[in-house]
Structure 1
């Protein structure tokens, strides 16, 4: 973690403020380090033994946090054989100036103190990056990778941003600049800021729409290039790590990361950790999804004897598991709290087993294993009628051909209102989010205009048709991923274990965004690029799998066992006006109170309330109470 504080005028208080910043950046029981340079307090933590401070020959001071994914390549190109991330980024700035971001691939944030402290520059890498927040007024500027450091100075009052709270309850995270606290702004990914006594100016230097197209003459060329980039990604990201572990599922993405890792380090053990349901759980919806991924992981282990699988059941873990610790570390309300118990346990197990890095495959669905969503309307806009017809014909059962034509060739060209009208005529039912997956109180939702803001942000909450490949990818990159910088790095710090995602390697992502979308779907075969690329590298059962894995598949029996305790907590929360005015506690209580004996008896709206709205509501309620200084969560 990193932080900087400068006073444009009176600087007499800097020495008093320095210890507050260093204490706020404590990690693993060890306080951060702070010093005064160029009339500013510069502070950094010491997580994972990384050096975070560097000096340029010009006298500029650099604070750096995060990771450079292509560090081996950068070291060779810049002639820095043993450089830390901070020194390597400093060398890149020295060589390329503002163009450094075009060469350095990674997930990082940096603060540059320039011109003897008269100018401060901030930058976050594109795609993924640790968070970087700032607060300023006419006298001061405070920048930090955690808002907690800003409040630790005592110069800024900690007040929750009610609009952020409301939008989060409606799953609208599109406004990346908006942090969780009033006046504390988050620098967007792929953006720079320049701060002077006159104010802060933000500019965006990266946009996925500017990725240049990649074209080859033959289909196999696309596979070969993707294969080479994936291998490069794994090799580059494993640099400096001796005992990797992986969070492994039955899906293409983490299976690919595991396979390429073991092919890169043949004969070296790879520890894997897979979340599995409790023993008293039974599969209920095997046709479209699967909840137990042991068979898929076991099949991979049969191909690679060096894979050492371990099953993580989570025992009787529930929502409060490690929750307060995460609040303290991240100062955010997690988006998917119901999934976090097994994520915590995987990280704890990997750390206890001696792993020095945890590999994931979180961005695979948007990169190499993209399924071609949005291809049909793109083909029609390009007037490629024959190819569009082939995809419609081969896209599923002939009995559902008319349905596919409407869904993929008609609806994407209609307005949202027109789409809903057509779908209603065809028998579709649109559950109101406030009656299903959102726990927000109707009056709070109306006051904060959450529905209007969601529509204005381009966030679809009614499952309308996808208009294009680019719009679909942009929506996912610009909504769910905005909170990733807070959560991912908070989890790393909380468990003392860094993580890396080879599927998010920027050269790989840009390649996957640049190739024709037809490489992802052909004659009804989805994930066509991944299936060809992984042939012979992962088991056939993975390549032939058409179902999707379900995370926390045993949620219903976990919830059922705590039914009475949850009702008591909801009743208790009704007496807290900070909570009861923001969450529809009565609806949540009714949903829990009327739980049937079997998950199969749930209506879709009831299931969404229990599996999504309840965990989001309780997480938010506890976050509100945590910020108020309550010790009862």
Structure 2
């Protein structure tokens, strides 16, 4: 009703005036359908339109129930396995079905479709960096008040980092003085030996406990540590979504968060996922930007203090500051000289067969897309980083969030997905985020007095799946049985490199090496092969995959 009233009053400019998280369908007086999704954060919105009918819904199941053919595009599944997410493409998982891009309005008339991508990151105005931390905190508080208006019994997913902790402190300030804030955190598997990469932290619970001591109005809860396998309830998630979301392999622990929220009687689960695109941006585009601008003093201080990177300073300059400015072919050639095993990162990390990956790359070249791992490098400047973040925000993650809501009956709300906050931070100069030898400068300034200093100044990032080796390792027998079943499937046996996946499982190291070449294929390729098979089995009505 609110959105319909806004359209009636402001017409085509309605979405420019609205702030919120929405996917809207409006029946217009001329008989057309007006479909819209908010920028930065919005539920999915799918549609099918021809001379016979126009159907739209956030749920693909609704389209199929209305008679839209369930004609899976198997090549789209292969694209996902190649980490080619086709950013900005309105093509979809099923032939004849499209998706409204975020920050866009699509008009459906009989047999015709017109889309206006009205939101443009390049149009965001510059922000005054003076008092930036205070202004950003004001906006987080505003966002917290708006979020609390739709929640009767909320909980916050809380980590030991900066983002959710700053958000927690602002939510507490916005709550009535007599009300506590429930928080839910997850830990690693009880058999996890404690190993994680040097620049990461696997166990964040101790930091969460100290933060909770500083804020007595926090009611702290910990999710069941037994929940967290990469395929936990993934068949149910896929059935709710009707899509293949490779990222499900990374969110097993969030089932524990939602399950605890449901157990506590919460109606809304708050998060702070978009903080990394706003106040908690690390500013690592400064590596290239400062080099180009000749700000060598700032650059050297940043590189010297780069977390978990003990390479000589000249090598850091070459890899992080000079390499991004070179042509893509030169970057790939130089990387191959230094890291021969990573000559082809996509091949290293994908479960696809050589033939399937080659065919995928040929199709990608024709449509001008590529894998996220094809030429991974830091952005050259703030504007390029913002464009990348905006495209990446429009992902299957929203389908995953919607599936979680359906499975657990708990609504999800990202407090930091607040457009005024995001746009204010994008408008700030690079120095607000990376300066004086420190990354994430703005977030650290905002965190003063809101968390223990050990947490505020901690340079390490949380590694949610630090226990991946433990969880996959103890299930190798079951997974190998599943690989054997895939060999009897025409599409899977041709598309997946099952011999390689089986070798990765059989040659299982006793401990993770914390080395990209050895760990990442096992951590990424194995789960994605299994989840792809589950999804194909769902679509084809098979229960043996």
Q: Same fold (TM over 0.5)?
A: yes
Rounded to whole Å, the distance in 2 between the matches of 1:433 and 1:424 is 10
Cα pair distance change 1:401/1:254, threshold 3 Å: same
1:370 and 2:281 are equivalent in the alignment: yes
Mean Cα deviation higher: 474-483 or 106-115 = 474-483
For residue 539 of structure 1, what is the aligned residue in structure 2? 452
After TM superposition, the runs of 4+ consecutive aligned structure 1 residues lying more than 4 A away are 424-429, 450-455
Cα pair distance change 1:468/1:394, threshold 3 Å: closer
Structure 1: which 5+ residue stretches go unaligned?
1-86
For residue 437 of structure 2, what is the aligned residue in structure 1? 524
For residue 542 of structure 2, what is the aligned residue in structure 1? 630
Cα pair distance change 1:584/1:434, threshold 3 Å: farther
Helix, strand or coil for the counterpart of 2:251?
helix
For residue 493 of structure 1, what is the aligned residue in structure 2? 406
For residue 55 of structure 1, what is the aligned residue in structure 2? none
Cα pair distance change 1:423/1:555, threshold 3 Å: closer
For residue 303 of structure 2, what is the aligned residue in structure 1? 395
Q: Deviations over 1:273-324 (max 9, x none)?
A: 1111122212223632110111110011110112122222441653442222
For residue 350 of structure 2, what is the aligned residue in structure 1? 438
* TM-score between the two structures when normalised by the length of structure 1: 0.81
Q: Deviations over 1:547-568 (max 9, x none)?
A: 1111121111111111111111
**Following superposition of structure 1 onto structure 2, how do residues 88-127 of structure 1 map, counting pairs within 5 Å?**
88-115=2-29, 117=31, 119-127=32-40
Q: Deviations over 1:76-135 (max 9, x none)?
A: xxxxxxxxxxx2222322332222212211111111212252x22211111111111111
Match of 1:565 among 478, 496, 501: 478
CA drift of 1:580 comes to 1.4
Rounded to whole Å, the distance in 2 between the matches of 1:577 and 1:490 is 29
**Following superposition of structure 1 onto structure 2, how do residues 186-201 of structure 1 map, counting pairs within 5 Å?**
186-201=99-114
**Following superposition of structure 1 onto structure 2, how do residues 13-412 of structure 1 map, counting pairs within 5 Å?**
87-115=1-29, 117=31, 119-154=32-67, 156-173=68-85, 174-216=87-129, 218=130, 221-265=131-175, 266-285=177-196, 287-315=198-226, 318-381=229-292, 383=293, 385=294, 387-396=295-304, 400-412=312-324
CA drift of 1:458 comes to 6.0
Helix, strand or coil for the counterpart of 2:13?
helix
Residues 445 and 451, structure 1, Cα contact 8 Å, conserved in 2: no
Rounded to whole Å, the distance in 1 between the matches of 2:458 and 2:363 is 37
Q: Deviations over 1:596-630 (max 9, x none)?
A: 22223x75333112111111111011100110011
Q: Deviations over 1:407-456 (max 9, x none)?
A: 34321221111123334455565253454321112212222326844993
Rounded to whole Å, the distance in 1 between the matches of 2:330 and 2:141 is 46
Structure 2: which 5+ residue stretches go unaligned?
none
Match of 2:334 among 406, 422, 443: 422
For residue 456 of structure 1, what is the aligned residue in structure 2? 368
Q: Deviations over 1:454-493 (max 9, x none)?
A: 9933654143343223223322331364212312222122
Residues 37 and 45, structure 2, Cα contact 8 Å, conserved in 1: yes
Bigger proportion of residues as strand: 1
Helix, strand or coil for the counterpart of 2:48?
strand
* TM-score between the two structures when normalised by the length of structure 2: 0.93
Residues 245 and 359, structure 1, Cα contact 8 Å, conserved in 2: yes
Helix, strand or coil for the counterpart of 2:5?
helix
Cα pair distance change 1:108/1:440, threshold 3 Å: same
Residues 436 and 606, structure 1, Cα contact 8 Å, conserved in 2: no
Residues 243 and 354, structure 1, Cα contact 8 Å, conserved in 2: yes
For residue 392 of structure 2, what is the aligned residue in structure 1? 479
Q: How many residues align?
A: 538
Q: Deviations over 1:521-562 (max 9, x none)?
A: 111111111111110012212211101111121111111111
Helix, strand or coil for the counterpart of 1:523?
coil
CA drift of 1:360 comes to 0.5
